[in-house]
Structure 1
Amino acid sequence: MKALITGVSGFVGTLLSEKLIENGYEVSGFSRRATSHKNIEYYPCDITDSSNVEEIIRKIQPDEIYHLAGSSFIPSSYTNTMQTYDTIVNGTLVLYEAIRKLDIDCKVLFVGSGEVYGEDKRSSYNEGDLLQPSNPYAGAKASADLISEQYFKTFGMRIIRARPFNHTGPKQSPHFVCSNFAKQISEMEVNGDNCISVGNINVQRDFLDVRDVVNAYLKLMKYGENGEAYNVSSNKPVFISELLNMLLSTSSLKDPIIEIEAVRLRVKDVAIKAGDNTKLRLHTGWKPEIQLLETMKDLLDYWRDYQAQVGDDKDEYPRT
């Protein structure tokens, strides 16, 4: 089986490529920046470059395409709104049109976002809820989600839509909350500082280990129904403060000072967000296997190892 991953050099793309290789796939991928993975066929390519995307797909003739391309860092979508929409919306159109033009009979997993549901709701979101995006990133993902549904209905393309909620784990960029906490703690253990900077830690979010998310993507590709949308979530919202406490409980720090830093506060920060994963469980048999405490331990150990090897060279940080 041949698998193609767009956005292959990102956090999830890197882990997904490793998992596919373990499962006997021949893996290719493209992205704007190179991947460090040596066991895949890598192509430098911007998802909006239609001629290059078409040429890559023509060459590979993939059986499966995992469409991950596009930055997932929400704050940057406020300052780079046009680029966010261009990459996510136009990039998705470029990909689908290349598949149509070449008449490639492949399955596509479009990786959207649980952000498409918008403002907070006390019960968990399910796939039948309205898409009401409240930031540019969510708006772009919602648009591409609808485009994916339309291409299934109009052209019969075999597209499955994933709507992942928050996920974290080793190698995640420190732009994201859990990885940022872990990075700070690993540095504090070395330099003796006793103050950790945070944003709003009194909100609840639905978190999964990235390894459980990748397993969900593989199961969706195998068992998911074409044209359907699936939440990839835990259905168990957790306070950000709880995740911080998990990290601190596995550290050597004693009574650290927790300081709210204004620059870390979001423009819009809803109180609670969780996704109902019933449909994913029923259709694929998937279930999360990694407890968040284990995730936090692995994340902190990753940053400890990273600090020992690289130090404080910001240019070497892992990227989304």
Structure 2
Amino acid sequence: MTTMLVTGSHGWVGTHICRLLAGQGHRVVGVGRRPQTMAGRYLQFDLHDAAAVDVALDEVRPDVVFHLAGATPQREPEVGRLVADCVGGTYSIGHALRTVARRYRYRPRLVLAGSSAQYGAVPWEQNPVSEQALPRPTGAYGHAKLAAEATAFALAADGHIEVVAARAFNHVGPGETVGTVAGALARRIADVAAGRSSRVRVGDLDAVRDFTDVRDIARAYLAMAQKGKSGDAYNVCSESGVAIRTVLDILLALANLDHSVVDLGADRGGIGHQVGSAGRLRGETGWTPRIPLRQSLRDLLAEHWSGPLRSGGETTKGAT
């Protein structure tokens, strides 16, 4: 039985990957800062506590570590804290894993969750973005994630551990928070459909993003753990550009609403167009996304509203 340790196990992606791993018969050990309960074993400690990290990894001796913990672009903290979380946390878990690997003479693997924010604003004509694109982050989050990736690869340079790094594009699906564009739209539309609000305020609808269901992203991380090449980074994406306007249209249709409830704001800025290429991941692991965007959005909306949702030509009830 393979032992899989997941940092950030109760986060959005962490919850899905723990469920996937347990379903495939792996021994799953979750890690987080706060008290939690889960089906497998759970360890509570702070990744900034080097002694606690060393003790935990020495006891568990994981075959694979999925490092998902850290700040998110939606909850980007003060820059010092951001760097400490992304870079310091990666160093802490990677260094402890390397120490255990040397002590017990085995070669574990670290799967690092990175972000398409590492690429920054790539010119439209250079989309879809491949791993060969020169990273030019435009914000602190992208810089911190890029530095974390470099830190992980440096720790693996002498061959004691293996490291594969994901550069995941936009996630979507069940469990999504209101800090993301799809999560925010789903909540606002659910509020209107349920009578809790009368208007759906939106920002820039022309921005184009590459959405992948969070459950497919969990599958991609597992594929990287099993078949990825150590020392490589992999884009995790659908390779399909979708305007935010399309996301809005799908959610409105699912909730049986029209555009008369929409207030268009003036919010613009950030990256206008970003679509990835998943050719490396597909070619080396066989991974492809399975869940269509409409299903992802339907599952997301159902978490916010118990009313009838359209599915194809039929109307069904949402989650309670």
Equivalent in the alignment of 1:99: 97
TM-score (norm 2): 0.89
Post-superposition Cα deviations, 1:106-140, rounded to whole Å, max 9, x if no partner, equal 11101111110111322211111111111111111
Equivalent in the alignment of 2:318: none
SS at match of 1:242: helix
Separation in 2 of the partners of 1:130 and 1:255? 40
Separation in 1 of the partners of 2:260 and 2:212? 26
Tell me by how many angstroms 1:305 deviates.
Answer: 4.3
Contact kept in structure 2, 1:184 and 1:196, CA below 8 Å? yes
- The match for 1:183 among 168, 175, 187 is 187
Alignment of 1:64-79 (within 5 A): 64-74=64-74, 76-77=75-76, 79=77
Separation in 2 of the partners of 1:254 and 1:119? 33
SS at match of 1:88: helix
Alignment of 1:161-176 (within 5 A): 161-176=165-180
SS at match of 1:191: coil
Separation in 1 of the partners of 2:207 and 2:259? 22
Separation in 2 of the partners of 1:206 and 1:118? 14
Separation in 2 of the partners of 1:192 and 1:160? 45
Tell me by how many angstroms 1:105 deviates.
Answer: 2.7
Separation in 1 of the partners of 2:202 and 2:241? 19
CA RMSD of aligned residues (A): 1.8
Post-superposition Cα deviations, 1:198-247, rounded to whole Å, max 9, x if no partner, equal 22221001110111111111111111111111000111111011011111
SS at match of 1:65: strand
Equivalent in the alignment of 2:24: 23
1:281 equivalent to 2:282? Answer yes
1:84 equivalent to 2:82? Answer yes
Tell me by how many angstroms 1:156 deviates.
Answer: 4.2
Equivalent in the alignment of 1:11: 12
Alignment of 1:94-243 (within 5 A): 94-103=92-101, 105-122=107-124, 123-191=127-195, 193-243=197-247
Alignment of 1:244-259 (within 5 A): 244-259=248-263
User: What fraction of aligned residue pairs are identical, expressed as a percent?
Assistant: 29
Equivalent in the alignment of 1:51: 51
The unaligned stretches of length 5 or more in structure 1 are 307-320
Contact kept in structure 1, 2:122 and 2:129, CA below 8 Å? no
Relative distance call for 1:66 and 1:305 in structure 2 (3 A) is farther
Separation in 1 of the partners of 2:247 and 2:226? 32
Equivalent in the alignment of 1:300: 301
TM-score (norm 1): 0.89
Separation in 1 of the partners of 2:55 and 2:20? 26
Post-superposition Cα deviations, 1:227-276, rounded to whole Å, max 9, x if no partner, equal 111000111111011011111111132443322456xx47x511101111
Relative distance call for 1:199 and 1:255 in structure 2 (3 A) is closer
Contact kept in structure 2, 1:194 and 1:253, CA below 8 Å? no
Contact kept in structure 2, 1:9 and 1:33, CA below 8 Å? no
Contact kept in structure 1, 2:98 and 2:155, CA below 8 Å? no
Q: In structure 2, what residue type is equivalent to 1:61? A: R
